[in-house]
Amino acid sequence: MSDIAEITRIKRNVLERYDIGESEMYTVREMLASVSVATRMSWAAHRQTIRDEDTAYCLLGLFDVNMPLLYGEGDEKAFLRLQREIVQQIPSDHSILAWGRGMSGSVRNKTSIFSPSPRWFAHIEDLSVRDSMTMTLGSSCIQLETLLGHLENLDIRLWLRK
Q: Where are the domains of the chain?
A: 1-34, 35-150
User: Residue range 22-37: average pLDDT?
Assistant: 75
Instruction: Tell me the whole-structure pTM to 2 decimals.
Output: 0.75
User: Residue range 117-141: average pLDDT?
Assistant: 73
User: What angle (nearest 5°) sits at the alpha carbon of residue 132, between those of residues 130 and 137?
Assistant: 100
Least confident of 4-13, 30-39, 66-75, 122-131: 122-131
C-alpha to C-alpha distance for 6 and 25, rounded to whole angstroms: 23
- For the chain, what percent of residues have pLDDT higher than 70? 65
C-alpha to C-alpha distance for 45 and 39, rounded to whole angstroms: 10
State the pLDDT confidence band at 132, using cuts at 50, 70 and 90. Answer: low
Asked if the model's pLDDT at residue 58 lies above 90, the reply is yes
- The distance from CA 96 to its chain's CA centroid, rounded to whole angstroms, is 5
Asked if the model's pLDDT at residue 56 lies above 90, the reply is yes
User: Residue range 75-100: average pLDDT?
Assistant: 90
Of the candidates 8, 49, 47, 48, the residue with the CA atom closest to the CA atom of residue 31: 8
Residue 74 in contact with residue 52, Cβ under 8 Å? yes
User: Residue range 9-19: average pLDDT?
Assistant: 73
What secondary structure does DSSP assign to 22-52, as a single string? SSPPPPHHHHHHTS-HHHHHHHTTT---SST
Asked if the model's pLDDT at residue 11 lies above 80, the reply is yes
Amino acid 5: pLDDT: 82
